[in-house]
Amino acid sequence: MAAPSLGPQLKAGPRRILHVDVDAMFVQCAVLADPERLGGVDLILVGGSPSGRGVVTSASYGCRAYGVRSAMPTATALRLCPDATVVKVPGEMVRTKSRALASSIADWSPVAAMASVDEAYIDLTGTEGLHRNEPLVETARRIQRDLKERTGLDVSIGGAANRLVAKMATSFAKPAGVYVVAPGEEEAFVASLQPEDLIGVGPALLASLRRRGIVDMTSLRALDVETMAAWWGPDRARWLWRRCRGIDEGPIRGREGAKSISSETTFPRDVSDLGELERLLLGRVVSVAGSLRRQGYYARTITVKLRYADFRDRSRSRTLVDSVQSDRVIFSVARELLGDLRRHNERPVRLIGVSLTGLSDSPEPEQQSLIALVPPRENARDRALSAAVDRIRDKHGRVIAPGSVLADQRRSREGDG
Ligand SMILES: [Mg+2]
């Protein structure tokens, strides 16, 4: 049988990808937020109330031994594990530690990116010399110790020649371990799993597989891509065919050479007033976010650049936990960045620019259940509003009055708290 095209062939040796996942992130953050009360406590349930209302966001490994799982009603969890201490979701600590993790991984490779609040990928390809050609598992252990020292968090690390297999390897590393799949062993590793272990195979697809008598990896891998296409359509078929063979050539987001979208403008005369700069910034945001949406992308990193009258450039960036594409959210971040830049330097400005990087074609982080607990910056309404603006702009060739976006942004900020 002819294999489907596997995408770009690799030219060099195997890639060296690590997937870093914080062990029970919310439990660890709850302890870090209240060490006096929770330090040394083994049975912790995050989410819900001590009276048993709500659901479990995250359970300590001690509680998991009693059969407690996340998303379980807290009342059920307390019946299984009556001695557990129930604590609130430590939202602020989760955000703080997620940012600390992002800046720590960035020191290990220029090709590193957060995939959700508690997960990251690091591409160490080409850094072998820096690490004295030590085995990937040794570098992973050093990174694990470094992250513990710098963030206080225990992490598990999976390693492989691609992102998909590295992530699946992480579940064999938990908790606080390292598990590396050797180059060339990807397919054998995946073949040893169950269909439900494949990332992205959810309950609906599993049920569809079972209905067709596909109950294990052997029967799944025996299917040809044409049969799969007849059942689920060509895109999903190709995706699953590759997935159950551990094939994935996707780059780490934020990889060097990744696309960026930017827009800048030079003013007819230099501008010093912050209000006027914000208005000009909004124009750039509307332009750049519009082209982002036209190309079907979402962005995670927003950068604002100023060129001063003396032709010196200064810029500020922020990488968000979730990918965004709406005018409102991009402007709210860009405006804070502009405020930072102006606090340090109030000299006249001759040019302002905004660029968006860390582009992906999906707004969804890989681990939706966790990210859902950290309030997203951008909601469905923001995206709908931006899409409506795009339609009007396409029709009339003009931009909505800036005031409407500004007013919307203020209202929404008040709601965020
Ligand atoms: Mg985790």
The residue from 36, 92, 119, 346 that is catalytic is 119
For residue 133, how far is its CA from the centre of ligand 1 (angstroms)?
29
CA count, 13 A, side-chain hemisphere, 379: 9
Q: Is 119 a catalytic residue?
A: yes
- pLDDT tens digits along 349-404: 999 999 998 887 666 543 443 444 445 577 777 877 887 777 776 665 444 433 33
For residue 311, how far is its CA from the centre of ligand 1 (angstroms)?
45
Distance CA 354, CA 346 (A): 19
For residue 348, how far is its CA from the centre of ligand 1 (angstroms)?
46
Q: What is the DSSP letter of 365?
A: -
For residue 84, how far is its CA from the centre of ligand 1 (angstroms)?
20
Q: Which residues surround ligand 1, an ion (CB under 5 A)?
A: 21-22, 25, 118
Q: How confident is the prediction along the chain (417 residues), in pLDDT tens digits per residue?
A: 444 444 444 445 789 999 999 999 999 999 999 999 999 999 999 988 899 888 898 999 999 999 999 889 999 999 999 999 999 989 889 989 998 999 999 889 888 888 888 999 999 998 887 887 899 999 999 999 999 999 999 999 999 999 999 999 999 999 999 999 999 999 999 999 999 999 878 788 899 999 999 999 999 999 999 999 999 888 788 889 999 999 987 777 533 334 788 888 888 899 999 999 999 999 999 989 988 887 667 888 899 999 998 888 999 998 887 788 889 999 999 999 999 999 988 899 999 999 998 887 666 543 443 444 445 577 777 877 887 777 776 665 444 433 333 333 333 332 222
Full-model pTM = 0.61
The tokens describing 74, both together, are: 């807290």
Cis, bond preceding 175 (omega within 30 deg of 0): yes
| DSSP output for 208-270 | HHHHTT--SHHHHHTS-HHHHHHHH-HHHHHHHHHHTTT---PPPTT-TT---EEEEEEEEEE
For residue 24, how far is its CA from the centre of ligand 1 (angstroms)?
5
Q: Which domains are seen in the chain, by residue range?
A: 14-22+91-250 (3.30.70.270), 35-89 (3.40.1170.60), 261-416 (3.30.1490.100)
